[in-house]
Amino acid sequence: MRVFVTGGTGFVGSHVVEQLLEAGHEPLCLVRETSDTDHLDELGVDQHLGTLEDVEALRPAVEQSDAIVHLAGVVKVREAEDFYRINGEATRELAELVATHHPEIDRFVYASSIAAQGPGMPEVSTGGEPNPVSDYGRSKLMGEKGVMSVAGEVPVTIFRPPPVYGPRDREMFALFRGASLGIAPVYDDGSARLSIVHVFDLARAMVESLERDHESGSIFPIDDGRAYSWREMVDICGDAFDNDPYVMGIPPVLFEAAAKASEAWASLTRQAIMFGEDKLSELEQGDWVCGHRVLSETLDWEPEWPLERGAPQTAQWYQREGWL
């Protein structure tokens, strides 16, 4: 199967590409002129030069593919409208391009986020009306709606992953670094619970969604099988280093001050930022738990990488690669 992958140079995308190759498929990856393609070059993967700023130019790649895995998006921006332009509008445009010029495609898989559903517990997160609390979450929900608008013409599938970790990840790296150093700051008292998923499990689920028949419009929350408090995650990551890290609770007021300072810096320098008031609005919500019941019932998928297994493997990778 020829699979057009957007975001193939990113963390999750690189693992999806690897698992596509292992499953005998042929990835075709979207890359920008500024993309670091070293890993794709080593894998010998075909590449299509383009950008989500010009979706129409992706038509040749779309038309020569049997399936699409759309992972590309933005998680840090200079202006909130950039979230909606790339995560929302460009995703809709890509889905419409597929429906117009290649509706016979086998499957269009879109990587959304738990942020599109909103905070809550499994009973809420696998059903009910989405309630995103951030511009990022609302932009991903906007992308979902764009994909769902063609679900009657093209077989589409949406994944809503929680935070993803594993080899090559930079976002959860701070947690591992803190655990390795013996001190890990957490929001408030660290009791908030959240789902996470190892990148191997997420990539495997996405590849299997291409290979197994299921209803168009399926939405799959995914996790590693349980929810963790921040304190539990620090302890488990500490065990990976034979460490007993101190969990340092940071008062919300200090996070608020840091978010405002980050916003001010971004405004002054015109730099895109990861942490600001938008991300703070997610931290303030408490539990972010999603489960994987629908995915299990539909594709017979089960997680293979609980944190107790994934943390040591990821820690060893960080150490082997010289990150720690």
Complete DSSP assignment for 108-136 = EEEE--HHHH-SB-HHHHTSS-----SHH
Beta strands (DSSP E) in the chain are 2-6, 26-31, 46-49, 67-70, 107-111, 156-160, 164-165, 183-187, 193-194, 197-198, 218-221, 228-229, 246-250
pLDDT higher than threshold 80 for residue 264: no
275/270 Cα distance (integer angstroms): 14
pLDDT at site 297? 95
pLDDT higher than threshold 70 for residue 225: yes
Residues 7 and 70 sit within 8 Å (Cβ to Cβ): yes
pLDDT at site 120? 79
pLDDT at site 127? 55
Find, among 65, 73, 136, 76, the residue nearest to 110 by Cα: 73
Q: Which two tokens stand for residue 256?
A: 């608020």
pLDDT tens for each residue of 138-149: 999 999 999 999
pLDDT at site 125? 44
pLDDT higher than threshold 90 for residue 271: no
pLDDT at site 124? 45
pLDDT at site 123? 45
pLDDT tens for each residue of 7-60: 999 999 999 999 999 999 999 999 999 999 999 999 999 999 999 999 999 999
Q: Which two tokens stand for residue 255?
A: 């996070």
Domain spans of the chain, in order of start: 2-165+195-223+288-305
SS3 166: coil
133/285 Cα distance (integer angstroms): 8
pLDDT tens for each residue of 251-261: 988 878 887 88
Q: What is the pTM of this model?
A: 0.94
pLDDT at site 132? 94
pLDDT at site 272? 72
Mean pLDDT of the chain, nearest integer: 92
pLDDT at site 286? 82
CATH 3.40.50.720 is right for the domain spanning 2-165+195-223+288-305: yes
**What percent of the chain clears pLDDT 70, i.e. is strictly above it?**
96
* Mean pLDDT of the 212-217 span: 96
Complete DSSP assignment for 64-81 = T-SEEEE----S-BSSHH
Least trusted range by pLDDT, from 105-109, 241-245, 269-273: 269-273
pLDDT at site 122? 54
Residue 248 — pLDDT band, cuts 50, 70, 90?
Answer: very high
* Mean pLDDT of the 288-309 span: 95
pLDDT higher than threshold 80 for residue 263: no
